[in-house]
A and B are shown apart, each in its own frame.
Chain A
Amino acid sequence: MAGTAISREDVKARLAQIGEADILVGIPSYNNARSIGHVVRAVQAGLAKYFPDRKTVLVNSDGGSTDGTMDVVHETTIDDFRSILLSHRVESFSKIAIPYHGIPGKGSAFRTIFEIARALNVKACAVVDSDLRSITPEWIELLVKPVMDDGYDYVAPLYHRHKYDGTITNSIVYPLTRALYGKNVRQPIGGDFGFSGRLGRFYLSKDVWETDVARYGIDIWMTTTAIANDFRVCQAFLGAKIHDAKDPGADLSAMLYQVVGATFDLMEEYPDTWKKVTTAEAVPVFGFTYEVGLEPVSVNIQRMIDKFTLGTRELGALWENVLSPDTLDFLRQLADEPGNGFHIPDTVWVDIIYSFALAAHGSVLNKEHLLKSLTPLYIGRTASFVIEARESSGPEVEKKIENLCGVYEKLKPFLSDRWK
C-alpha cells in the first residue's frame, strides 16, 4: 500500500476516525467542478433516503483538478432533507475527497476508491461518473441494493439511449463481450457500477494498476473480470444517461483504440474461459423499466461514407495483413460505389472485428496502428447502421443489435479455431 493515496497520514487518520462502513460510493473526477455538486447531492440523498440505517461514505478520487472540484465536493451538502421527503434519522454519512496517486486515469482513481473500500471493510460499493446530469438518488438504490439485499457481486447499468448513441458499445463491445463470456450485459462500459466489497478486494488483488487498465479500459476490465471469474452479475435500469457536453475535439480513433484494445487485451487473459462458452444467458434486471424522452442526435451520413471511402482507398494495403481477401474485396467494391444502398452486413462486420482481434493476438502490426486503422471501418459500419435504422423505433433497433449478437455467436468458432 506504500506510495498510494491512502498511505498519507491525513487520509489514514480520517479512515481511522470512520473505522468501518457499510456502503461506499466513489466518484472519480478531473476538472468537473461544474457538474460534481449535483452528483454529490444525488449520492447523499440516495444514501440518506434508501440506506438511512447504514454507515455510508462518499469518496471523491480526484486526478489533480485545477478548477476546485474537490472544494465543491467538500462544500456540497443537502441542507434540508425534508426537500427529498426524508424525516427519519440518518445513521452516519462521511465524505472523503483526495487526489489519487499513480498513472493519471480513471483506473487509478478507481484503485484509490477500492483501497478505501477495503480499509473500511465495506459491504457494498458503487461508482458513478462526475459529469452526470441525469443522476437521481434512485441510482444509488438501484446500484447498491442488489448487492446488499440479494447477494449480487456486480451491478451493471442499463440505460435508455438514443438509437444512434453508444455505437462502439452496440457494434463491438456489447456483442463481443456477450459472445465471448456468455452473459448478456447490455452496457459493459456504462461507467456507473455497483459491486460487493468482496469483488472490490478481488479487483485490488489483480496486478494491473501499472498497465493500461490504470489509464483507461477500467470499465470493460471490471465487467469482464467479474463475469470471467464467476461473480454474480445483474443489471439495474437507471433511465436516461445524460452527461455534461462531451469534448467535441475528442479523438474517435483514440477512443476506439482504448476501448477495443482493452477488450482484446482481456481476451488474452481469459482464453480458456471464453473458448468454452457457446451460448449467452440473460442477466437479471432490477429497476422499473420506462420509456425516456431523448434528445435528437444529428448525423452527417455522407461525411461518414466519405471517411470510409478514404480509409479503404488509403489503408487497404495495410488491411491485407489483417482481413481475408473476400472481405477486402467487398470493402473495396463498396468504397468504389458507395452511393447505391451503402450497407455493411453483420457477417462482414463480425468478420472484420474477429480478424482484427486475431491480428492483435498475432502481433501482425503495431497494436496502436492496427486499432486506429479500424476507425474508417467503424465509421462505415456506423453509417450503414444509421441508414438501416433511420426509420426504426427503439425496440426495432434493439432487435437489430440482438441479431448482430447472434452473428457474433454464430461466427465465434472462426475466432476460437484460429486463436493459438
Chain B
Amino acid sequence: MNFLQRVIIEPFESSYEKFLTFMPNFLTSLALLIVGIVLAAVLRIIFLRVFRAINLDKAAQRLGLFDMLIKGGIRDSLSAFIARIIGWLVIFTFAVVAVQTLKIPTVEHLLERFFLYLPNVFTAAVILLFGYLFSNFFGRAALIASVNAGIKRAGLVGRLVKITVFILSATMAMEQLGIGRDTVLIAFAIIFGGIVLALAIAFGFGGRGIARTYLQRTVGKEKEDRDERDDINPL
C-alpha cells in the first residue's frame, strides 16, 4: 500500500496539482492570444486606411518599392503589405507574452536569447531595405547618365552600380547579424580590390590600344569637339 502510494498516487497527485497550477496560466495565455488576434485585425484595418489616406502606394511606386514587392512575389499593395505585417507583429507580440505566461523555464530562456538578438535582425532588415532602395536609385541614375553620355554598355554600367551598392549594404547587414564578420569584410575587400586591379591591368596592359586612343581623344578633345559636335542650340 505504501509502495503504491509512493509510486503511483503521489506522482499522480503531484502532476494533478501542477496541472491545476498550469491551467490558469494556460487559459490566460489562450485569452491573450485571442485578444492579440482580434486587436491585430482591428489595427490592420485602421493602418490600411491611414496608409491609403496618405497615398503611401504612390510614394512606393516612385521609390521603386512596388517593383521590389512584385519581384519578391508579393501581389499586395505596400499599404496592404505593411498593414498585414503590423497585424502579424501584434499577433507575434501577444503570442510571446502568452508563452511567457505559461512560465516554462526552458521556453523563457529561449525567448530571452531570441529577444536579445532581435534588434540585430531588425537593423539588418532596415539596412537591406535601404540598400535595395539606394541600389535601385543609383543603378537607374547611372543607367540614364550612361545612355545620355552615349556609352554603348550603359546597361552593364547601371547593373554594376546597382549590384555594388546592394553588395555593400548586404555586407553591412551581415556584419550587423554577426555572420562571418571578418570573412565577409575580407571577401568584400578582395572582390573590389580584384576588380580595380583587373581594370588597371586590362587598361594599362591588355588594353594599351584603347588607353592610347582614349588619351589621344582626351588630349585632343577640343579638336574632336569642334569636328563632331552638333551646333544646334536647343533653347
| Chain A residue, CB-CB nearest to B222 | A248
Report yes or no: A375 in contact with B148, Cβ–Cβ below 8 A. yes
In the complex, A299 has a CB within 8 A of chain B: yes
Residue contact A372 to B233, C-beta cutoff 8 Å = no
Of B62, B148, B228, B234, chain A has the most CB atoms within 10 Å of the CB of: B234
Instruction: Assess A167 versus B62: contact at CB under 8 Å? Given A248-B225, A307-B150, A315-B144.
Output: no
How many residues of chain B have a CB within 8 Å of chain A?
A: 27
Chain A residues, CB < 8 A from B141: 369
B233: chain A residues at CB < 8 Å are: 165-166, 243, 246
Tell me if A164 is interfacial: C-beta within 8 Å of chain B: yes
With A166-B233, A255-B235 in contact, is A369–B148 under 8 Å at CB?
A: no
Kindly provide the distance from the CB of A293 to the nearest chain B CB, expressed in whole angstroms. 16
Q: Which residue, of B143, B225, B228, has the highest number of chain A Cβ atoms within 10 A? A: B143
Q: Which of B206-235 contact A (CB under 8 A)?
A: 225, 228-235
CB < 8 Å neighbour of B59 from A164, A296, A363 = A363
Let me know if B129 is at the binding interface, CB within 8 A: no
- Find chain A residues with CB under 8 A from B235 CB: 166, 168-169, 189, 191, 255, 259
Q: Complex formed: what's the CA distance from A315 to B142 in Å? A: 12
Cβ–Cβ < 8 Å partners of A243 in chain B: 233
Contacts of B147 in A (CB 8 A): 307, 310-311, 314-315, 373, 375-376
Which positions 185-211 of chain A face chain B at CB distance < 8 Å? 189, 191
Can you name the residue of chain B whose Cβ is closest to the Cβ of A318?
Answer: B140
Q: A366's closest neighbor in chain B, by CB?
A: B62
List residues of chain B with CB within 8 A of the CB of A318: 140, 143-144
Please, how many angstroms separate the alpha-carbon atoms of A310 and B230 in the complex? 18
* A169–B31 alpha-carbon span in the complex (Å): 70
Interface residues of B in 138-160 (CB under 8 A from A): 140-141, 143-148, 150, 152, 154-155, 158
Report the minimal beta-carbon distance from A187 to chain B, rounded to whole angstroms: 10
Complex alpha-carbon distance, A366 and B140, angstroms: 10
Contacts of B98-157 to chain A: CB distance below 8 A: 137, 140-141, 143-148, 150, 152, 154-155
Q: Which of A164, A306, A366, A372 is close to B150, meaning CB atoms less than 8 Å apart?
A: A306
- A252 lies within 8 A of chain B by Cβ: yes
Question: Which B residues, 32 to 56, have Cβ-Cβ distances below 8 Å to chain A?
Answer: none
Task: Output the least CB separation between B147 and chain A (Å).
Answer: 5
Question: Contact between B230 and A299 (Cβ–Cβ < 8 Å)?
Answer: yes
In contact, B228 and A303 (Cβ under 8 angstroms): yes
Smallest Cβ-Cβ distance to B152: which chain A residue: A310
Write the A306-322 contact mask toward B (1 if CB under 8 angstroms, else 0): 11001101110010010
Indicate the size class of the contact surface on chain A: 35 or more
Q: A362 touching B58 by the CB < 8 A rule? A: yes
B149 to chain A, nearest CB (A): 9
Determine whether A292 belongs to the interface, using a CB cutoff of 8 Å to chain B: no
Q: Is the CB of B232 within 8 A of A310?
A: no
Chain B residues with CB under 8 Å of A313's CB are: 155
Q: Counting CB contacts under 8 A, is B61 at the interface?
A: yes
CB of B143 to closest CB in A, whole Å? 6
Give Cα A328–Cα B116 distance, bound, in whole angstroms: 52
For residue A298, CB closer than 8 A to chain B, the reply is yes
Residues on the B chain within 8 Å of A164, using CB: 232
Q: How far is the CB of A177 from chain B (nearest CB, A)?
A: 14
A298 to B232, CA, bound (A): 7
Residues of B close to A373: CB separation below 8 A: 144, 147
Q: Which of A167, A299, A362, A369 contacts B144 (CB 8 A)?
A: A369
B140–A382 CB distance below 8 A: no
Q: Does A300 contact B (CB under 8 A)?
A: yes
Q: Does A253 have its Cβ within 8 Å of any Cβ on chain B?
A: yes
Which of A345-387 touch B at CB < 8 Å?
A: 362-366, 369, 372-373, 375-376, 382
Residues of B within 8 A of A191 (CB): 235
What sequence of 0s and 1s flags, for each residue 247-281 of chain A, a beta carbon within 8 Å of any chain B beta carbon?
01001110110010000000000000000000000
Q: In the assembled complex, how far is the CB of residue A244 from the closest CB belonging to chain B, in whole angstroms? A: 12
Q: Mark B53-78, 1 if CB is under 8 A from A, else 0.
A: 00000110110000000000000000
Taking the closest CB of chain B, its distance from the CB of A104, in whole angstroms, is: 19
**A314-B143 in contact (CB<8A):** yes
CA distance A304 to B145 in the complex (A): 16
Closest Cβ of chain A to B146, distance in Å, is 8
| Minimum distance in angstroms from B197 CB to a CB of chain A | 28
CB-defined contacts of B232 to chain A, threshold 8 Å: 164-165, 167, 297, 299, 382
- Using CB atoms, name the residue of chain A closest to B58: A363
Q: Chain A 213-254 against B: per-residue CB contact (8 Å), 1 yes, 0 no?
A: 000000000000000000000000000000100101001110
Q: Which chain A positions have C-beta within 8 A of B225? A: 248
Docked CA distance A257–B150 (Å):
17
Residue picked from B58, B148, B228, B231, most chain A C-beta under 10 Å: B148
Which of A255, A304, A366 has the most C-beta atoms of chain B within 10 angstroms of its own C-beta? A366
A252 contact from B58, B140, B234, Cβ within 8 A: B234
Is B234 in contact with A167, judged by CB distance below 8 angstroms?
Answer: yes
A310 touches B228 (CB 8 A): no
Residue of A nearest to B233 (CB): A165
Q: B234 to A166, Cβ gap below 8 A?
A: yes
Q: Is the CB of A364 within 8 A of B62?
A: yes
Question: In the complex, A165→B233 CA distance in Å?
Answer: 5
For the complex, give the distance between the alpha carbons of A303 and B152 in Å: 12
Check A168/B234 contact, CB under 8 A, given A248-B229, A363-B62, A364-B62.
yes
Sample of 8 further A-B pairs with CB below 8 A, known A299-B230, A315-B143: A169-B235, A253-B144, A298-B231, A303-B228, A310-B147, A310-B150, A314-B143, A321-B61
Closest 9 CB pairs of A and B: A253-B148, A168-B234, A297-B231, A363-B62, A314-B154, A165-B233, A375-B148, A298-B231, A248-B225
Q: Chain B: residues with CB nearer than 8 A to chain A?
A: 58-59, 61-62, 137, 140-141, 143-148, 150, 152, 154-155, 158, 225, 228-235
Give me 9 A-to-B residue pairs in the complex whose CB atoms sit less than 8 angstroms apart, sorted by A's number. A165-B232, A169-B234, A169-B235, A252-B234, A296-B231, A304-B230, A307-B147, A362-B58, A369-B141
